[in-house]
Amino acid sequence: MGQMAQKISQVDKEELLKILNVAFAEEWLAYYQYWLGARLAVGPMRKAVAAEFEEHAGEELEHAEKLAARIIELGGTPVLDPQEWQSVAMCKYDAPAKPYVMNLLEQNLVAERCAIVRYQKICEMTFGKDFDTYRMSADILREEIEHEEEIGAYKDDINAAFERKNGLE
């Protein structure tokens, strides 16, 4: 990190790097959860859900890339060993042992809600203190909010179709 860049950042750097690495590990797990889910999903609207998962996987990977770049810029080191992703991450990753679409959607919804909390927290930490990290986190937060909305909408649609079929509507 350049001299001026260090001078203008008003955030505790160690604390910031720690939470950025938590988010970084979580993004890899989120990427993998979506990537695998897109291939394993079975059940109603499978193709549409898989396409959505594939798109989200790509965006989670972009988030990981942005975080790695910022961590390095701040003089830190992104989590080096993939074995540490699970222990560093605070959002839990559930293996898609039951690949029925509703199970996968629920698992991803939990992960998205956890991600929203993470980026909200990073935004709060950096607002007015480190504009560059703030802007990155706010951009990612926006996408996580969209992800939650999209995954929730698929769940609602599948539930509605089920209720209609069973005359529960």
Q: According to CB under 5 A, which residues from 89 to 148 bind Fe ion? A: 112, 144, 147
Continuous segment of H or E residues that includes residue 86: helix 85-88
**Which among 14-22, 24-32, 86-94, 154-162 is the span making contact with Fe ion, rule CB under 5 A?**
24-32
Q: Figure out which of the listed residues 60, 74, 105, 137 binds Fe ion, where binding follows CB under 5 A.
A: 60
Cα end-to-end distance, the chain, whole Å:
59
Smallest gap from residue 75 Cβ to Fe ion (A): 23
Please report whether residue 66 would count as binding Fe ion according to CB under 5 A: no
CA distance linking residue 92 with residue 16, whole number of Å: 21
Angle at 93 between CA 88 and CA 99, to 5 degrees: 160
For Fe ion, the closer of residues 52 and 112 by Cβ is 112
Collapsing DSSP to helix, strand or coil, 169 comes out as: coil
Options 21-29, 39-47, 75-83, 85-93: segment touching Fe ion (CB under 5 A): 21-29
Helices (H), the chain: 3-8, 13-40, 46-73, 85-88, 101-126, 131-165
Q: How far is the CB of 151 from Fe ion (least distance, A)?
A: 8
Residues that bind Fe ion (CB under 5 A): 27, 60, 63, 112, 144, 147
